[in-house]
Amino acid sequence: MYADPLKEGDWYTKLPEVVVISIYDFALWPEQEDQGQNKQGLPRVPMLSWWNMTERAPSNHGLLQVQHVFLELPKVPDRRPEVRGPDLWAWLLVHAPKLTEIPADLTPGPCRDALELANKSKFTEAGLEAYRKASDEIRVVFEIADARWAEGEREGRLKAEREGRIEGKRETLVRLLGRAGITLTDAERALIDTCVDADTLDGWIVKLVGAKTAAEVLA
């Protein structure tokens, strides 16, 4: 895995990284009372430690591509970390078996997906089938809702277009009446403003030719 990609004559710096991840359910470096923390108040070896190899005599940090990561589960805090990352993954490894439900405030992402998978793995065959059936039903409901929403949007656009065309016909009729010198009473103007039938408005516009009064047009 480490040396095979290297061709004859290539520099070792071209070697890919190889990370060895080890998870321990015991403290690999237990903290002692007299040396549990350093001068900065940090653990001597943290819960998640990342190591490279160093040659002992000249302290040469060679073979940096080979890295060792150690996760010590006894050092995982009881309180769930707020930020996603290695600390949250470690917390889930330790505390997931004690959870009775997936935390509602756990944001969508790999950690929540992992708990969903862990939850499914505990189902009986019948329970898993019921879970899948419920999930399918929920998916169908959302698909129907999306389709109805899309249809509503389409109908809304068509309605707006129809209303826009009718409003345009009303404005055209009133403008032509004004150009013909025909005065509208309040009742006649209200009749035009409340008309929502495009054919009726078109008929009134046609009657305008040669008309002397609004009554002739709106008859």
The answer as to whether 105 is a domain residue is no
Higher pLDDT, 51 or 136: 51
Domain containing 146 equals 128-218
Instruction: Kindly indicate the confidence band of residue 34, based on its pLDDT and cuts at 50, 70 and 90.
Output: very low
> The whole model's pTM is what?
0.42
Average pLDDT of 177-187?
86
Q: Residue 78 above 70 pLDDT?
A: yes
- The DSSP annotation for 84-108 comes to -SHHHHHHHHHHGGG-SS--TT--S
Check whether 143 has a pLDDT greater than 80.
no
* Same domain membership, residue 69 and residue 133: no
Non-local (6+) Cβ contacts of 24 within 8 A are 70, 71, 72, 73
Average pLDDT across the chain, whole number: 78
Is there a domain that residue 121 lies in? Answer: no
Structural domain count, the chain: 2
